[in-house]
Amino acid sequence: MKYQLLKVHGSGNTFYLYDSLYENELDWVRLTKWLCDPNNHEGADGLLLVLPSEKADAKMRVINADGSEASMCGNGLRCVARYICEKLNVDSAIIETMKANLTVRKEAPIFESLPTYAVEISPVSFDLQTLPMHYEHKTEIKNQLLPAFSDEILFTAVSVPNPHLIGIVDKQYIEDVSHQQKLAAYLNGDNEYFPDGVNVSYVLPISESEIFVRTYERGVGFTNACGTAMTASALIAKLYDYVNVPKIKVYNPGGFVQCQVEANENSYQLSLIGNATVLGNYEIDNDLHILGCFMTDEQLQYEKCNIFVKEKLGNLI
């Protein structure tokens, strides 16, 4: 039996994408771990499964590189959005995810002719039970010092619906990743605060409309970008006046996105806007052999975008 997969990325967050008619067609954990092995065609961050849905135009499941399953993935959802919109020949669609049915749509390019899609990020909750997180009997943590984690960094805990710990930091914490590495590795191991682990992002405000985000992603480690983390970071930056515009440019080690943030009391409408790039087409067999691959030239356009980002950020990445 032969299987056709795409290799795709959003903001440098790389995935294989497979369209299946059946939830249990293959051993997804085994397949994902093999596909994501860095020694195997440079690996990937996870596998995006596109499945039939009774509630929406399609269903997305996200298997992380370590075999765990994520409830959502913003960068991956953009790639699925493009795949479904092109498959159905539409400009917008509804995608079922683990926690919500989300609206996706084709957008004008954010850079030259870069294929660009916007995806809804929802639901949003600051209730620590939704992450889950346990910290001194608190029910919420919003822009606060947490001495157990740092004496300097203001943290916010939020689920969107993936669990995130967002720290607003000075430039030194972006240039030297050791503090973030140590904290994130601890919080994703055996610890008293996050029984299921957490995505840890350090956020540097750059201007009234721009931030930089570096994320240690649960089940992955440091990643070029995490879509829900960038959106959550944009929300926190907007809520606590680190930026003052509704559409925020978010830079990351893999490029940049735009995050639309609308906040009214406890109601939040969030959109993640960025590239959905197809790197190539792959064919594999039952014995997990790659039989062939055909690479596209779309990455050339994205690399031009990366040059722009590197000139903007200098030594941050």
Active-site residue (options: 36, 79, 226, 259): 226
Give DSSP secondary structure letters for 210-247. EEEEEEEETTTEEES--HHHHHHHHHHHHHTTS---SE
The angle that helices 74-88 and 227-239 make with each other, rounded to 10 degrees, is 120
Known catalytic residue: 85?
Answer: no
Give the DSSP letter of residue 125: B
Quote the CA–CA distance of 301 and 297 in Å, as a whole number.
8
262 is written with which tokens? 């609308």
Known catalytic residue: 226?
Answer: yes
Side-chain half-sphere exposure of 284, counting CA atoms within 13 A? 19
Neighbours of 222 (CB within 10 A): 15
29 is written with which tokens? 């954990």
Quote the CA–CA distance of 58 and 92 in Å, as a whole number.
12
Active-site residue (options: 73, 85, 259, 305): 73
Active site residues: 73, 226
